Amino acid sequence: MGRGRPVLANGACQVLREQVLRSNGGLFYTSYAEFAACLDLLCAQPQLAQQMGQQGRQFVERYYSWAAVERRLEAALTAAYEIVHGACVPSRALQEEQAEHDAEVA
């Protein structure tokens, strides 16, 4: 996904399947026949493959770039600090991250 190419993910792995669904960055398969059909589809429809690849790249940049990881880490550390020091309200950054995640899951 991060390279701008669509992925063909093993659908038996729940994590991979969910990442493909969240990103719209490829297809998943659960059998050889499905794998072959997915590959044929992507080869026959290069615009679809390109679109999935772009969506996957955007997903990776949004959630797994260093900047995105740093934001989540900082929010988690801030929340932990606030909890330890008596503040029970999570930081604004953590609340925003959680709201964004909840919206995607829904």
Instruction: Please report, in tens digits, the pLDDT of each residue of the chain (106 residues total).
Output: 657 899 999 999 999 999 999 999 999 999 999 999 999 999 999 999 999 999 999 999 999 899 889 989 988 988 888 888 776 556 666 677 778 888 887 7
Q: CB within 8 A of 32, min separation 6: which ones?
A: none
pLDDT at position 87:
63
Residue 100's pLDDT is: 84
- Whole-prediction pTM: 0.66
Domains of the chain: which residue ranges?
Answer: 7-64, 66-105
CA-to-CA dists, residue 64 to 34, 38, 57, 68, 70, angstroms: 28, 26, 10, 6, 9
Rounded-to-integer distance, Cα 72 and Cα 96, Å: 10
- pLDDT (0 to 100) of residue 56: 94
